[in-house]
Every structure is written in C-alpha cells, then in structure tokens.
Amino acid sequence: MIYVTGDTHGEIERFENRRIRSLGKKDCLIICGDFGFIWENSPKEKALLHKIGSKRYKTLFIDGTHENFDLLSAYPVTELYGGKVHHISGNLYHLMRGEIYTIEGKTFFAFGGGESMDKDFRQENGTWWKAEQPTEEEIAYAAHNLEKHQYTVDYIITHQPSMNDMGMVTGRRKVSRLSAFFETLSQNVRYQKWYFGSLHQDKVLRHSQCLFTEVEKIIG
C-alpha cells in the first residue's frame, strides 16, 4: 500500500500517527516536501534519520522550501522504482525533481522545491538556500520525462500547488516560474490525482488534495 502526507518539518512525532505506525514491509509513505530532518547535520539529526530509515516501510520524500540543500545534494544518487533518488539511510529516500517512478504498477511524477515566503528574513546558505527554487534545466528535464510518458501519469507529487489550486485553498494566486509550470501541467498532463503540501492545510479539491497532517491512502 502507498500513503501520502504533508510537511513533517523535522517532527519525529509525526511518525507516531496511528495509520503510519501500522505500515508494513511492503508499504511506502510519501511526504510532500519540507521533510525537515536534513538541516543541521547534528548527531541527534543523524540518529533521527537512521531511526526513520530503520522503519520496516519505505519513506520517500520530495524536497520543499525548508531543507538544507547543501547537505541533501551530498547524499549518493541511486535508482529506485525506475527513477533517480538520493539514498539517505536504510529505507529512507529523497525523490528527485522531474523523475517519474513506478510503484505498485502506478506512475508518480515528483517535483519538489518552491519559493519561501519568508526568504527575506532568512540567511542565505544558513537558513535559506537558493536551490529551493527549481532551475530551468530541472523544469526542462521534467517536461522531457513527461513527454516520454505521453504526458500521462497516475499521480503527481509536489510541494507547492498550481496557481489555480493555490487560489482554491488560500484565496490568492502567486505567480512564479514554478507555479506557471505547474499550471501548465494541470492543463496538459493526464493524471488521476495531484497531491501537494506547503500550505499547512488538509483540503480535498476536485482533482487534487492539499495535505498537512492527514495521512491519505492512495493505493491498496
């Protein structure tokens, strides 16, 4: 079975959720960005990463806007479910931008990153990293992968939403290169459902779902 949830922000208590605790060896948990456990590289943080990686199920996360991208990029790149991943520890993996994974016979397009609303109040390369914002090359790579799949996937996993979904959840639309790209995806890619985090709300929309603390079962 496959489950998906929203931003965990380095809170190990989130893994005590009743539904997550019941996951077994063949299950996967996908986190929609702001994983938050790769931040300071302290012994305590390394122990938490080992603890998560030691769980019997796989934990798969995309990056959000509150990650230490210098640390994240240093992890070894390998392949899992037909796409590139950073292997963090044991059963813990980072799903990389623009990759398409096949899990339990279903395809997942993953694209992390975004733009921090509070970046002007954070320190570059200390509490904020420019790498949170996807590059033109990453967007082009994603578009190329989608073209290879005839612009059809079963599920889309992102941290931030499309412009339309942003408006549906918050009542406002923020225009950026990434939100414009996501809006293009929403109009041109065939998919069953789109899951995203970042807005710290749990809300079901017509073809998408905003997740924070809810744990949604999507296959099984």
Confidence band of 90 (pLDDT split at 50, 70, 90): very high
d(CA 140, CA 120): 28
d(CA 179, CA 165): 10
Confidence band of 5 (pLDDT split at 50, 70, 90): very high
pLDDT attached to residue 180: 86
Confidence band of 118 (pLDDT split at 50, 70, 90): low
Contact 15, 52 (CB under 8 A): yes
Residue 177 DSSP SS3: helix
d(CA 8, CA 93): 15
CB atoms within 10 A of CB 25: 9
The secondary structure of residue 24, as a DSSP letter, is -
Task: Report the sign of the C-alpha dihedral through residues 147, 150, 154, 160, in that order.
Answer: positive
Backbone angles phi, psi at 2, to 5 degrees: -125, 135
Percent of the chain with pLDDT over 70: 95
Confidence band of 202 (pLDDT split at 50, 70, 90): very high
d(CA 51, CA 90): 9
Instruction: Please tell me the CATH code under which domain 2-219 is placed.
Output: 3.60.21
Kindly report the length of the chain: 220
Model confidence pLDDT, tens digit, residues 40-53: 999 999 999 999 99
Confidence band of 119 (pLDDT split at 50, 70, 90): low
d(CA 95, CA 31): 10
Contact 8, 14 (CB under 8 A): yes
Residue 186 DSSP SS3: helix
Q: Which residues contact 33 (CB under 8 A, 6 or more apart)?
A: 7, 61, 62, 63, 64, 65, 112, 113, 114, 158, 159, 160, 196, 197, 198
What does the domain layout of the chain look like in residue ranges? 2-219
Q: Per-residue pLDDT averaged across 119-129, rounded?
A: 68
Q: Burial, 164: exposed, middle or buried (Cβ in 10 Å; 0-12, 13-18, 19+)?
A: middle
Model confidence pLDDT, tens digit, residues 7-24: 999 999 999 999 999 999
